[in-house]
Structure 1
Amino acid sequence: MALQPGRGKIEGKHYLPSTPETVTWGELPNALTRPVLSVDSGAAVTFDTVSPEGILGDQGRDPDAFLADLGVPASEVLADARAIAASGLPHRFGVDAPHIVTGPVLIRGAQPGDVLRVDVLSLHPRARYGIISSRHGAGLLAGEFPEGSPPEPDADARHWQRFRTVTTFCAVERRRGRLFGSLTSTSGGRARFPLAPFLGVMAVAVDSTTEVIPSTSVGLHGGALDCRDLGTGARLYLPVQVAGALFAVGDPHYAVGDGKIGATALEGPLRATLRLTALREAAARAALGALREPFVETDTVWVTVGLDADLTEAIRRATRSAVLFLQSRVGLERAEALAYLSAAADIGVCRIGPGAQTAFCRIHRADFTEPTAAKPRLHRPPFARIVGAAGVEEAAGVQDVAGEGDVGGVQDVAGEGDVAGEGDVGGVADVGGEGDVGGEGDVGGDGSERAPEPVGVADGSAQPVGGERPAGEPGGVEPQQAGAPRSPRAGTTRPGPADRRGRPPGR
């Protein structure tokens, strides 16, 4: 079953649901945005995030009707998505940014000049399905895809089929303790790929009192980074620009390929638990060196990000940031840093297409050793200098927590206590009778392993959405056997009306 708001396990000290009062549609916070939750530095917050897929104007802004047409029963539609769609929140499809943004959260004591460290403690899918959409004018192959007729000029939420958006539905399966997206074509082809959840949008407030910050923006505030390294166990560093930081999240993904070439990932709602810690200058320098821009680290890699309208320039920016990081944090000379990057780093693209491009430079932490005591600089061959260069690895864990004074007197939305759980909901049982072999447990922000969280309802009966209901089990779904044929509606691509070879759109 779906992981409904407030149900199941709440791992953070604070809980922030997505409601019409706690979200914005398509906008990130600025200096005047009112916080919806106030926490101490170092607190863990659980966010229930909502995907915009199924509630956007080109999908009718009616998740019940839209998802029913894809074979999803009403019990699997999230109540918060339903409430946001039915609310009076203004949104102009094709004009406003698409994301449902939850927050912002005020971190007491955080001040401009600090760095906000975001530890990703856990990410749990809230639904047993995800959606990939192809929209006209979006993605790397805009103008080529979607194939078929362009949108009609009078398309709107009441006549949403006229937008001619192509939707691909993916069921979520569990196999051998891991979650997979399963895409089945009407022609019989099938693809299955592992899920790697992350939040596409994480941001602090921009220091502006007049500017509207679209959720598609990227910059020093973070924004739509779309960096898939930001999974469970990762840390994101963002320079604080306003008092309290005002941190917000959105755009939850189940999986994405480097580049996000079709403009959307496998979009699906997540329950995300994040630890929010304000770092003073000393702790920030220990973690980042002289770098003061969005930065990602995991147990195995460091990732710098470059942002620009031009892809080549975005790659240059990511590379320059990597040089600065290796020089100021690890101790390489600039020429040595560039030499190392040329030989061993990975350059890639987080997001490509019309608008801002996001590139990354991924550095492998295993290539660097702990620093040794300072020694006199001796002449040595360049190769020996590169091989012997020392790094600082453990300093990233140093914390200098900002003060805990309350800023603005904002009330805690969910109080201080944990929310009572009712069993983990929202995942799926193993497909095809294959036993769970242990999976990979979530990694805490401190690097320690967590016990694997059970995914699915308490009796283990949850199965991928899209099949028929078993007789005598209202709201249930038929267990999906590995390799078995699917219902034509499950995991299929639904074209717009013009692509149905003359058949009228179903509703």
Structure 2
Amino acid sequence: MHFDPLQPGAGAIRSQHYLPATGRNVLWGRLPCASDEAVLEVESGDEVTIDTLSHEGILEDQGRDPLRYFAGHGVDRHHVLDDAIAIAASDYPRDRAADGPHVVTGPIRVRGAKPGDLLKMTLVEALPRVPYGVISNRHSKGALPGEYPASLGTVSVFSSVDEDPDGRRVGVLPVTPGGPNVVRFPLAPFLGIMGVAVSGDTRPHSVPPGAHGGNIDINLLTAGNSLYLPVQVAGALAYVGDPHFAQGDGEVALTAMEASLRVTVRFELLSQADALRQFGALVGPLAETREFLVPTGMSLDLDEAVQHCVRAAISLLGARYGMEPHLAYAYLSAATDFNISQVVDIVKGVHARIRVADFAGVPPR
């Protein structure tokens, strides 16, 4: 399948605010902190169309030359993004040993945001910028670091985009290298990184997620769904990155189908009073879809991440519906799935899917 790439400034741009992934609009390997200056300022309720860049194809272990790298997979120059070429060729001061791989776009200041508020980030639209992606497994990374990759080098698997008989876009992977048989899987574009700046003047590493959000890799956050984040600094200083075309819960190989997106995100503020009334005292990210409330838990230890998520879910049900803790605990055991968001980002993530329909007869507090 081929379609025209969404080069910087070209093609569909949904909102009046547009932020390309060029120049001072990006950080590479680090996330914003309180001392960073915003590259855009918006009002609560505004939508911003943002270009995001995948790190796959621009990293050093892939040659830091996306033109050459993607040409090796049969991609012509027309379908390689100009902003990817530019950042790979730049002298951006990224320390390969100390910094993460991700390119993030932002930060965006939301007028009036202050610590104690919640910032709601809704993915309004997610448009693929290219018709391909990459899935990588790197040495001593992933769920099976002692087993894969079998060699010392990076294994990066190229995945093309095609259409199924119903016209839906799918990812395509070979069953054997160079063989005729392929596996096809549905695409569900989302942002692996959505976050707010941390306090202080030290930019966090881009890989481990936390209370600030960041690299949470929750694949439910597709178009139409939202993430709530506790604001840590004045203006929130929000950012996005780590675009995916698809990801399974766990993201076991290290990356999923990583590929650049043009997204439109709506930014809305909830005051501290409204936030407490709707969700209780959130200490970390909370996702929301049409079907589910999705509290999260994170820790270096997966067992502890599950425990944090269960506690967050009990607290949420108490704050929103007045549910007694022992009854919430019982309900969660009987009716709620706890999913592994990812196990590959140093800090492991777990999220719960609480069905909103189950509480149709219970008025929110």
The alpha-carbon distance between structure 1 residues 302 and 354, as it changes in their structure 2 partners (threshold 3 A), is closer
Q: What is the aligned partner in structure 1 of residue 245 from structure 2?
A: 254
Question: What is the alpha-carbon distance in structure 1 between the residues aligned to residue 77 and residue 297 of structure 2?
Answer: 42
| Structure 2 residue matching 1:219: 3-state secondary structure | coil
Q: What is the aligned partner in structure 2 of residue 167 from structure 1?
A: 156
Question: What is the alpha-carbon distance in structure 2 between the residues aligned to residue 262 and residue 65 of structure 1?
Answer: 24
State the identity as a percent.
47
Deviation at 1:189, TM superposition (A): 3.3
Question: What is the alpha-carbon distance in structure 1 between the residues aligned to residue 60 and residue 363 of structure 2?
Answer: 50
Q: What is the aligned partner in structure 2 of residue 298 from structure 1?
A: 289
1:181 equivalent in alignment to 2:184: no
| Matched-pair contact (CA < 8 Å) for 2:211–2:284 | yes
Q: What is the aligned partner in structure 2 of residue 289 from structure 1?
A: 280
Post-superposition CA distance 1:95-121 (Å, at most 9, x none): 320000110001111111111011111
Answer 1 or 2: higher relative contact order, Cα 8 Å, separation at least 6.
1
Q: What is the aligned partner in structure 1 of residue 5 from structure 2?
A: 2
Question: What is the alpha-carbon distance in structure 2 between the residues aligned to residue 46 and residue 181 of structure 1?
Answer: 24
Deviation at 1:178, TM superposition (A): 1.5
- Within the candidate set 191, 199, 210, 2:191 is matched to 199
Question: What is the alpha-carbon distance in structure 1 between the residues aligned to residue 6 and residue 344 of structure 2?
Answer: 33
Post-superposition CA distance 1:70-108 (Å, at most 9, x none): 110000000111111111112233432000011000111
Q: What is the aligned partner in structure 2 of residue 456 from structure 1?
A: none
Q: What is the aligned partner in structure 2 of residue 360 from structure 1?
A: 351
Q: What is the aligned partner in structure 2 of residue 104 from structure 1?
A: 107
- Within the candidate set 38, 47, 56, 2:59 is matched to 56
Deviation at 1:287, TM superposition (A): 3.2
Deviation at 1:138, TM superposition (A): 0.7
Question: What is the alpha-carbon distance in structure 2 between the residues aligned to residue 130 and residue 231 of structure 1?
Answer: 17
Q: What is the aligned partner in structure 1 of residue 142 from structure 2?
A: 139
Question: What is the alpha-carbon distance in structure 2 between the residues aligned to residue 353 and residue 315 of structure 1?
Answer: 15
TM-score by length of 2: 0.95
- The answer for unaligned runs of 5 or more in structure 1 is 151-163, 371-389, 396-507
Task: Please identify which structure carries the higher strand content.
Answer: 2
Question: What is the alpha-carbon distance in structure 2 between the residues aligned to residue 241 and residue 290 of structure 1?
Answer: 14
Superposition pairs of residues 365-444 of structure 1, within 5 angstroms: 365-370=356-361, 390-392=362-364
1:113 equivalent in alignment to 2:102: no
TM-score by length of 1: 0.69
Question: What is the alpha-carbon distance in structure 1 between the residues aligned to residue 167 and residue 322 of structure 2?
Answer: 41
| Structure 2 residue matching 1:213: 3-state secondary structure | coil
The alpha-carbon distance between structure 1 residues 266 and 354, as it changes in their structure 2 partners (threshold 3 A), is closer
The alpha-carbon distance between structure 1 residues 200 and 68, as it changes in their structure 2 partners (threshold 3 A), is same
Post-superposition CA distance 1:212-271 (Å, at most 9, x none): 301112211111100011101111000111110000111000100110101101000001
| Structure 2 residue matching 1:96: 3-state secondary structure | coil
Deviation at 1:13, TM superposition (A): 2.3
| Aligned partner letter, 2:159 | C
Question: What is the alpha-carbon distance in structure 2 between the residues aligned to residue 239 and residue 313 of structure 1?
Answer: 21
- Within the candidate set 86, 90, 94, 1:91 is matched to 94
Superposition pairs of residues 474-489 of structure 1, within 5 angstroms: none
| Higher-Rg member (1/2) | 1
| Structure 1 residue matching 2:278: 3-state secondary structure | helix
Post-superposition CA distance 1:402-436 (Å, at most 9, x none): xxxxxxxxxxxxxxxxxxxxxxxxxxxxxxxxxxx
Question: What is the alpha-carbon distance in structure 2 between the residues aligned to residue 353 and residue 49 of structure 1?
Answer: 21
**Cα RMSD (Å):** 1.4
Deviation at 1:331, TM superposition (A): 1.9
| Matched-pair contact (CA < 8 Å) for 1:116–1:240 | yes
| Matched-pair contact (CA < 8 Å) for 2:58–2:84 | yes
Superposition pairs of residues 7-22 of structure 1, within 5 angstroms: 7-22=10-25
Question: What is the alpha-carbon distance in structure 2 between the residues aligned to residue 229 and residue 22 of structure 1?
Answer: 26
Q: What is the aligned partner in structure 2 of residue 36 from structure 1?
A: 39
| Structure 1 residue matching 2:23: 3-state secondary structure | coil
| Structure 2 residue matching 1:8: 3-state secondary structure | coil
| Matched-pair contact (CA < 8 Å) for 1:217–1:356 | yes
Post-superposition CA distance 1:131-171 (Å, at most 9, x none): 001111110011211112x2xxxxxxxxxxxxx21111111
Q: What is the aligned partner in structure 2 of residue 428 from structure 1?
A: none
| Matched-pair contact (CA < 8 Å) for 2:336–2:354 | yes
1:72 equivalent in alignment to 2:72: no
Question: What is the alpha-carbon distance in structure 2 between the residues aligned to residue 197 and residue 330 of structure 1?
Answer: 32
| Structure 1 residue matching 2:24: 3-state secondary structure | coil
Deviation at 1:291, TM superposition (A): 2.9
* Segments of 4+ moved more than 6 angstroms: none
Deviation at 1:344, TM superposition (A): 0.5
Post-superposition CA distance 1:47-70 (Å, at most 9, x none): 000001110010111100000011
Q: What is the aligned partner in structure 2 of residue 24 from structure 1?
A: 27
| Matched-pair contact (CA < 8 Å) for 1:56–1:93 | no
| Matched-pair contact (CA < 8 Å) for 1:198–1:228 | yes
Deviation at 1:45, TM superposition (A): 0.4
| Matched-pair contact (CA < 8 Å) for 1:196–1:255 | yes
Question: What is the alpha-carbon distance in structure 1 between the residues aligned to residue 284 and residue 60 of structure 2?
Answer: 34
Question: What is the alpha-carbon distance in structure 2 between the residues aligned to residue 230 and residue 53 of structure 1?
Answer: 21
Q: What is the aligned partner in structure 2 of residue 308 from structure 1?
A: 299
Q: What is the aligned partner in structure 2 of residue 402 from structure 1?
A: none
